Amino acid sequence: MIHIIHIDKKDWDPGVEASKRNYQLAGPVKDKQFHVFRMLTDAELPDMAYKTSRLSPKSLLFPQSEIMFTYRLDPKADSPHILQEVKADSSPCAVIGIRPCDARAIRILKLNFEGPEYPDPYWLNAIERCTFIGLADNAPESTDFSTSCGTGPFDEAGLDALVVDCQDHYLVKVLTEKGGAWMKAAGFTSVASNNAPEVLERMKAAAESKIASKISFDNIRKMSILDLYQAPFWEDAAFGCIQCGACTYACPTCWCFDIQDETYGAKGVRMKNWDSCMAPLFTLHASGHNPRSTALGRTRQRFMHKLKYFLDKYDQGIMCVGCGRCIVQCPANIDIRKICDRMNQYEAGKGECRCQ
Protein backbone atom coordinates (compact mmCIF):
# COMPACT_ATOMS: atom_id res chain seq x y z
CA MET A 1 0.00 0.00 0.00
CA ILE A 2 2.73 2.48 1.03
CA HIS A 3 4.44 3.88 -2.02
CA ILE A 4 6.33 7.01 -3.04
CA ILE A 5 5.30 9.43 -5.77
CA HIS A 6 7.46 12.01 -7.56
CA ILE A 7 5.86 15.39 -8.38
CA ASP A 8 7.65 18.16 -10.31
CA LYS A 9 6.96 21.44 -8.53
CA LYS A 10 5.52 22.98 -11.70
CA ASP A 11 2.82 20.28 -11.64
CA TRP A 12 1.86 20.78 -7.99
CA ASP A 13 -0.52 23.77 -8.21
CA PRO A 14 -2.40 22.47 -11.30
CA GLY A 15 -2.83 19.09 -9.57
CA VAL A 16 -4.09 20.62 -6.33
CA GLU A 17 -6.44 22.80 -8.39
CA ALA A 18 -7.74 19.70 -10.23
CA SER A 19 -8.46 17.96 -6.91
CA LYS A 20 -11.02 20.69 -6.15
CA ARG A 21 -13.41 18.83 -8.47
CA ASN A 22 -13.68 16.12 -5.79
CA TYR A 23 -12.61 17.80 -2.57
CA GLN A 24 -12.99 20.94 -0.57
CA LEU A 25 -9.50 22.07 0.40
CA ALA A 26 -8.01 23.38 3.62
CA GLY A 27 -4.44 24.59 4.03
CA PRO A 28 -2.05 27.34 5.11
CA VAL A 29 -2.48 30.85 3.67
CA LYS A 30 -0.83 34.14 4.56
CA ASP A 31 -3.07 36.58 6.43
CA LYS A 32 -1.20 39.87 6.94
CA GLN A 33 2.11 38.94 8.64
CA PHE A 34 1.09 35.45 9.80
CA HIS A 35 -0.05 32.21 8.25
CA VAL A 36 -3.43 30.81 9.16
CA PHE A 37 -4.66 27.29 8.52
CA ARG A 38 -8.27 27.27 7.27
CA MET A 39 -10.71 26.21 4.56
CA LEU A 40 -9.55 27.67 1.24
CA THR A 41 -11.69 29.70 -1.10
CA ASP A 42 -12.10 28.65 -4.76
CA ALA A 43 -9.38 31.13 -5.72
CA GLU A 44 -6.81 29.97 -3.14
CA LEU A 45 -4.13 27.28 -3.04
CA PRO A 46 -2.15 26.16 0.02
CA ASP A 47 1.12 28.02 0.59
CA MET A 48 3.61 25.14 0.76
CA ALA A 49 6.45 27.52 1.68
CA TYR A 50 4.93 28.38 5.07
CA LYS A 51 6.77 27.67 8.32
CA THR A 52 3.99 27.33 10.87
CA SER A 53 0.48 28.65 11.36
CA ARG A 54 -0.36 30.93 14.29
CA LEU A 55 -3.31 28.78 15.32
CA SER A 56 -3.15 25.07 14.65
CA PRO A 57 -5.29 23.16 12.12
CA LYS A 58 -7.31 21.67 15.00
CA SER A 59 -10.01 24.27 14.27
CA LEU A 60 -10.95 22.31 11.12
CA LEU A 61 -12.14 19.44 13.34
CA PHE A 62 -12.88 21.33 16.53
CA PRO A 63 -13.93 24.85 15.46
CA GLN A 64 -13.41 27.85 17.70
CA SER A 65 -17.21 28.29 17.62
CA GLU A 66 -19.63 25.73 16.23
CA ILE A 67 -23.41 25.94 16.06
CA MET A 68 -24.90 22.62 17.20
CA PHE A 69 -28.61 23.48 17.30
CA THR A 70 -31.00 26.30 16.49
CA TYR A 71 -34.28 27.02 18.28
CA ARG A 72 -37.28 29.34 18.14
CA LEU A 73 -39.15 30.73 21.14
CA ASP A 74 -42.09 32.27 19.27
CA PRO A 75 -45.13 30.04 20.09
CA LYS A 76 -46.45 30.59 16.54
CA ALA A 77 -43.24 29.27 14.90
CA ASP A 78 -42.87 25.68 13.69
CA SER A 79 -41.77 23.47 16.63
CA PRO A 80 -41.20 26.26 19.15
CA HIS A 81 -38.79 25.46 22.01
CA ILE A 82 -37.52 22.35 20.18
CA LEU A 83 -33.82 22.13 19.33
CA GLN A 84 -33.24 21.69 15.59
CA GLU A 85 -30.04 19.92 14.61
CA VAL A 86 -27.71 21.76 12.22
CA LYS A 87 -26.83 19.55 9.26
CA ALA A 88 -23.12 18.87 9.16
CA ASP A 89 -21.09 19.10 5.94
CA SER A 90 -19.91 15.57 5.12
CA SER A 91 -18.36 16.24 1.71
CA PRO A 92 -14.69 15.17 1.31
CA CYS A 93 -12.08 17.64 2.46
CA ALA A 94 -8.32 17.44 1.83
CA VAL A 95 -6.21 19.11 4.52
CA ILE A 96 -3.05 19.99 2.64
CA GLY A 97 0.24 21.00 4.24
CA ILE A 98 -0.52 20.04 7.83
CA ARG A 99 2.73 19.73 9.78
CA PRO A 100 3.45 16.25 11.22
CA CYS A 101 3.38 17.44 14.84
CA ASP A 102 -0.07 18.99 14.27
CA ALA A 103 -1.28 15.69 12.81
CA ARG A 104 0.11 13.89 15.86
CA ALA A 105 -1.84 16.38 18.01
CA ILE A 106 -5.04 15.17 16.35
CA ARG A 107 -4.31 11.69 17.70
CA ILE A 108 -4.15 13.23 21.18
CA LEU A 109 -7.46 15.05 20.62
CA LYS A 110 -9.02 11.75 19.53
CA LEU A 111 -8.54 10.39 23.05
CA ASN A 112 -11.02 13.00 24.23
CA PHE A 113 -13.44 13.23 21.30
CA GLU A 114 -13.55 9.54 20.33
CA GLY A 115 -13.60 8.02 23.80
CA PRO A 116 -16.04 5.14 24.34
CA GLU A 117 -18.17 7.01 26.86
CA TYR A 118 -18.83 10.31 25.09
CA PRO A 119 -17.91 10.17 21.39
CA ASP A 120 -18.44 13.62 19.90
CA PRO A 121 -20.58 13.40 16.69
CA TYR A 122 -19.36 16.78 15.41
CA TRP A 123 -15.73 15.70 15.66
CA LEU A 124 -16.46 12.25 14.22
CA ASN A 125 -18.13 13.72 11.15
CA ALA A 126 -15.29 16.18 10.61
CA ILE A 127 -12.52 13.61 10.92
CA GLU A 128 -14.28 11.13 8.66
CA ARG A 129 -14.52 13.63 5.80
CA CYS A 130 -10.86 14.72 6.01
CA THR A 131 -7.82 13.39 4.17
CA PHE A 132 -4.59 14.60 5.77
CA ILE A 133 -1.79 15.43 3.33
CA GLY A 134 1.13 16.36 5.57
CA LEU A 135 4.15 18.52 4.81
CA ALA A 136 7.47 17.47 6.37
CA ASP A 137 9.50 20.20 8.04
CA ASN A 138 13.05 20.31 6.64
CA ALA A 139 14.13 23.22 8.84
CA PRO A 140 12.48 23.09 12.31
CA GLU A 141 12.46 26.33 14.29
CA SER A 142 14.46 26.86 17.50
CA THR A 143 11.32 26.49 19.64
CA ASP A 144 10.50 23.07 18.14
CA PHE A 145 11.04 20.24 20.64
CA SER A 146 8.79 17.74 18.88
CA THR A 147 11.32 14.88 18.95
CA SER A 148 11.11 14.86 22.76
CA CYS A 149 7.34 14.46 22.55
CA GLY A 150 7.12 11.25 20.52
CA THR A 151 6.75 13.00 17.17
CA GLY A 152 9.04 14.91 14.82
CA PRO A 153 9.35 16.82 11.54
CA PHE A 154 8.80 13.70 9.41
CA ASP A 155 6.36 11.84 11.69
CA GLU A 156 3.77 9.94 9.64
CA ALA A 157 1.28 9.25 12.46
CA GLY A 158 -2.22 10.42 11.65
CA LEU A 159 -1.36 11.29 8.04
CA ASP A 160 -2.73 9.85 4.79
CA ALA A 161 0.30 11.07 2.84
CA LEU A 162 3.51 12.94 3.65
CA VAL A 163 4.86 15.50 1.18
CA VAL A 164 8.60 16.19 1.34
CA ASP A 165 10.03 19.29 -0.31
CA CYS A 166 13.12 18.27 -2.35
CA GLN A 167 13.81 21.75 -3.84
CA ASP A 168 12.70 21.32 -7.49
CA HIS A 169 10.29 18.46 -6.81
CA TYR A 170 8.25 16.80 -4.10
CA LEU A 171 8.50 13.21 -2.96
CA VAL A 172 5.21 12.04 -1.49
CA LYS A 173 4.90 8.99 0.72
CA VAL A 174 1.35 7.72 0.25
CA LEU A 175 0.36 6.03 3.51
CA THR A 176 -3.34 5.13 3.26
CA GLU A 177 -6.08 4.51 0.71
CA LYS A 178 -7.50 7.95 1.48
CA GLY A 179 -4.13 9.47 0.63
CA GLY A 180 -3.99 7.45 -2.60
CA ALA A 181 -7.48 8.65 -3.58
CA TRP A 182 -6.49 12.30 -3.22
CA MET A 183 -3.29 11.74 -5.24
CA LYS A 184 -5.39 10.17 -7.99
CA ALA A 185 -7.88 13.07 -7.94
CA ALA A 186 -4.92 15.46 -8.31
CA GLY A 187 -3.41 13.37 -11.15
CA PHE A 188 -0.21 12.63 -9.21
CA THR A 189 0.75 9.14 -10.35
CA SER A 190 4.43 9.22 -11.28
CA VAL A 191 6.24 6.55 -9.22
CA ALA A 192 9.49 7.81 -7.65
CA SER A 193 12.87 6.22 -8.41
CA ASN A 194 14.15 3.25 -6.40
CA ASN A 195 16.43 5.36 -4.21
CA ALA A 196 13.54 7.54 -2.93
CA PRO A 197 13.22 5.65 0.42
CA GLU A 198 16.91 6.31 1.23
CA VAL A 199 16.59 9.96 0.19
CA LEU A 200 13.62 10.37 2.55
CA GLU A 201 15.43 8.63 5.42
CA ARG A 202 18.46 10.92 4.97
CA MET A 203 16.26 14.03 4.88
CA LYS A 204 14.38 12.87 7.98
CA ALA A 205 17.63 12.33 9.92
CA ALA A 206 18.94 15.73 8.79
CA ALA A 207 15.74 17.52 9.88
CA GLU A 208 15.64 15.77 13.27
CA SER A 209 19.31 16.58 13.90
CA LYS A 210 18.47 20.30 13.64
CA ILE A 211 16.24 20.09 16.72
CA ALA A 212 18.49 21.14 19.60
CA SER A 213 15.69 21.79 22.06
CA LYS A 214 14.91 18.79 24.28
CA ILE A 215 12.75 18.04 27.30
CA SER A 216 12.51 15.01 29.55
CA PHE A 217 9.59 13.81 31.66
CA ASP A 218 10.97 10.49 32.96
CA ASN A 219 10.93 11.62 36.60
CA ILE A 220 7.52 13.29 36.33
CA ARG A 221 6.10 9.90 35.49
CA LYS A 222 7.45 8.46 38.76
CA MET A 223 6.36 11.33 41.05
CA SER A 224 3.13 11.42 42.98
CA ILE A 225 0.51 13.90 41.84
CA LEU A 226 0.27 15.38 45.34
CA ASP A 227 4.01 16.00 45.60
CA LEU A 228 4.07 17.85 42.30
CA TYR A 229 0.85 19.71 43.10
CA GLN A 230 2.36 21.00 46.35
CA ALA A 231 5.73 21.93 44.85
CA PRO A 232 6.89 25.44 45.78
CA PHE A 233 7.86 26.47 42.25
CA TRP A 234 4.27 27.07 41.06
CA GLU A 235 4.21 30.48 42.68
CA ASP A 236 7.23 31.49 40.65
CA ALA A 237 5.89 29.83 37.47
CA ALA A 238 2.60 31.73 37.72
CA PHE A 239 4.13 35.09 38.73
CA GLY A 240 4.44 36.59 35.24
CA CYS A 241 1.34 35.01 33.72
CA ILE A 242 -1.30 37.57 32.75
CA GLN A 243 -3.92 34.83 32.23
CA CYS A 244 -4.54 35.85 28.63
CA GLY A 245 -5.19 32.27 27.46
CA ALA A 246 -3.15 32.68 24.25
CA CYS A 247 -1.18 29.51 25.04
CA THR A 248 -4.32 27.38 25.27
CA TYR A 249 -5.96 28.78 22.13
CA ALA A 250 -2.76 28.37 20.11
CA CYS A 251 -2.15 24.83 21.35
CA PRO A 252 -3.03 21.99 18.95
CA THR A 253 -3.71 19.61 21.85
CA CYS A 254 -5.92 21.75 24.11
CA TRP A 255 -9.44 20.36 23.90
CA CYS A 256 -11.56 22.22 26.45
CA PHE A 257 -14.85 23.72 25.33
CA ASP A 258 -18.01 25.23 26.74
CA ILE A 259 -21.60 24.99 25.47
CA GLN A 260 -23.77 28.09 25.59
CA ASP A 261 -27.17 29.20 24.34
CA GLU A 262 -27.25 32.56 22.61
CA THR A 263 -30.73 33.98 22.14
CA TYR A 264 -31.59 36.92 19.91
CA GLY A 265 -35.23 37.97 20.42
CA ALA A 266 -37.39 34.93 19.67
CA LYS A 267 -34.66 32.72 18.18
CA GLY A 268 -31.29 31.39 19.19
CA VAL A 269 -28.45 28.94 18.77
CA ARG A 270 -26.71 26.43 21.00
CA MET A 271 -22.96 26.80 20.44
CA LYS A 272 -19.84 24.88 21.32
CA ASN A 273 -16.94 27.30 21.92
CA TRP A 274 -13.28 26.82 22.79
CA ASP A 275 -12.63 27.46 26.47
CA SER A 276 -9.42 27.95 28.42
CA CYS A 277 -8.31 26.67 31.83
CA MET A 278 -6.43 29.97 32.20
CA ALA A 279 -9.71 31.92 32.49
CA PRO A 280 -11.19 32.44 36.01
CA LEU A 281 -14.70 31.79 34.66
CA PHE A 282 -13.64 28.32 33.49
CA THR A 283 -14.25 26.69 36.87
CA LEU A 284 -16.64 29.20 38.47
CA HIS A 285 -19.53 27.30 40.07
CA ALA A 286 -23.12 28.59 40.04
CA SER A 287 -22.78 28.95 43.83
CA GLY A 288 -20.02 31.51 43.35
CA HIS A 289 -17.32 29.15 44.61
CA ASN A 290 -14.31 28.78 42.33
CA PRO A 291 -11.95 25.86 43.03
CA ARG A 292 -9.26 27.51 40.89
CA SER A 293 -9.70 31.12 41.94
CA THR A 294 -6.03 32.14 41.74
CA ALA A 295 -3.61 32.59 38.85
CA LEU A 296 -1.33 30.10 40.59
CA GLY A 297 -4.05 27.43 40.62
CA ARG A 298 -4.87 27.94 36.95
CA THR A 299 -1.26 28.00 35.78
CA ARG A 300 -0.53 24.85 37.76
CA GLN A 301 -3.60 23.18 36.25
CA ARG A 302 -2.45 23.86 32.68
CA PHE A 303 0.98 22.33 33.19
CA MET A 304 -0.16 19.51 35.47
CA HIS A 305 -2.80 18.49 32.92
CA LYS A 306 -0.35 18.46 30.01
CA LEU A 307 2.67 17.00 31.77
CA LYS A 308 1.33 14.85 34.61
CA TYR A 309 -2.43 14.05 34.65
CA PHE A 310 -2.52 13.14 30.94
CA LEU A 311 0.71 11.14 31.23
CA ASP A 312 -0.69 9.11 34.14
CA LYS A 313 -4.18 8.64 32.70
CA TYR A 314 -3.42 7.53 29.14
CA ASP A 315 0.17 6.25 29.32
CA GLN A 316 0.77 7.71 25.85
CA GLY A 317 3.34 10.38 26.64
CA ILE A 318 2.55 13.99 27.47
CA MET A 319 -0.27 16.19 26.15
CA CYS A 320 2.14 18.23 24.05
CA VAL A 321 3.67 17.71 20.61
CA GLY A 322 6.46 20.28 21.02
CA CYS A 323 5.22 22.64 18.32
CA GLY A 324 6.48 25.67 20.28
CA ARG A 325 3.43 27.88 19.61
CA CYS A 326 2.79 28.61 23.30
CA ILE A 327 6.45 29.62 23.75
CA VAL A 328 6.42 32.00 20.78
CA GLN A 329 3.04 33.54 21.57
CA CYS A 330 3.17 33.95 25.36
CA PRO A 331 3.44 37.69 26.11
CA ALA A 332 5.10 36.88 29.45
CA ASN A 333 7.79 34.56 28.04
CA ILE A 334 6.56 31.55 29.98
CA ASP A 335 8.24 28.53 28.44
CA ILE A 336 6.76 25.04 28.85
CA ARG A 337 10.23 23.52 28.39
CA LYS A 338 11.50 25.30 31.50
CA ILE A 339 8.40 24.35 33.52
CA CYS A 340 8.80 20.74 32.40
CA ASP A 341 12.44 20.81 33.54
CA ARG A 342 11.45 22.18 36.95
CA MET A 343 8.80 19.50 37.33
CA ASN A 344 11.13 16.76 36.18
CA GLN A 345 13.95 17.83 38.50
CA TYR A 346 11.74 18.45 41.53
CA GLU A 347 12.57 16.55 44.68
CA ALA A 348 9.64 16.40 47.06
CA GLY A 349 10.26 17.63 50.58
CA LYS A 350 12.88 20.18 49.56
CA GLY A 351 11.51 23.67 50.09
CA GLU A 352 8.43 25.02 51.77
CA CYS A 353 5.10 24.71 49.97
CA ARG A 354 3.55 28.10 49.35
CA CYS A 355 0.81 26.93 47.01
CA GLN A 356 -2.80 28.02 47.44
Residues forming contacts to ligand SF4 in the complex (CB under 6 A) are 241-247, 250-253, 278, 306, 320-326, 330-332, 334, 336
Q: Give strand pairing partners of 134.
A: 98, 162
What distance in Å separates the CA atoms of residue 96 and residue 143, rounded to the nearest whole number?
Answer: 23
Provide the minimum distance between the beta carbon of 306 and ligand SF4 in the complex, in angstroms, as a whole number: 6
Measured from the CB atom, the residue of 119 and 239 that comes closer to ligand SF4 is: 239
Provide the minimum distance between the beta carbon of 182 and ligand SF4 in the complex, in angstroms, as a whole number: 26
Measured from the CB atom, the residue of 69 and 282 that comes closer to ligand SF4 is: 282
Measured from the CB atom, the residue of 126 and 326 that comes closer to ligand SF4 is: 326
CA distances, 327 to each of 71, 186, 319, 343 (Å): 41, 37, 15, 17
Measured from the CB atom, the residue of 180 and 252 that comes closer to ligand SF4 is: 252
Measured from the CB atom, the residue of 182 and 234 that comes closer to ligand SF4 is: 234
The gap from C-alpha 24 to its chain's centroid, in whole angstroms, comes to 20
CB 134 within 8 A of CB 48: no
What distance in Å separates the CA atoms of residue 270 and residue 134, rounded to the nearest whole number?
Answer: 33
Single-letter amino acid, residue 193: S
Torsion of CA 329, 48, 146, 254, to 10 degrees: 50
Measured from the CB atom, the residue of 38 and 54 that comes closer to ligand SF4 is: 54
CB 158 within 8 A of CB 179: no
Measured from the CB atom, the residue of 244 and 355 that comes closer to ligand SF4 is: 244
Q: Which of 196, 206, 201 is nearest to 139 (CA)?
A: 206
Single-letter amino acid, residue 261: D
Provide the minimum distance between the beta carbon of 156 and ligand SF4 in the complex, in angstroms, as a whole number: 18
Provide the minimum distance between the beta carbon of 248 and ligand SF4 in the complex, in angstroms, as a whole number: 7
Single-letter amino acid, residue 138: N
What distance in Å separates the CA atoms of residue 180 and residue 189, rounded to the nearest whole number?
Answer: 9
Provide the minimum distance between the beta carbon of 328 and ligand SF4 in the complex, in angstroms, as a whole number: 9
User: DSSP letter at 307?
Assistant: I
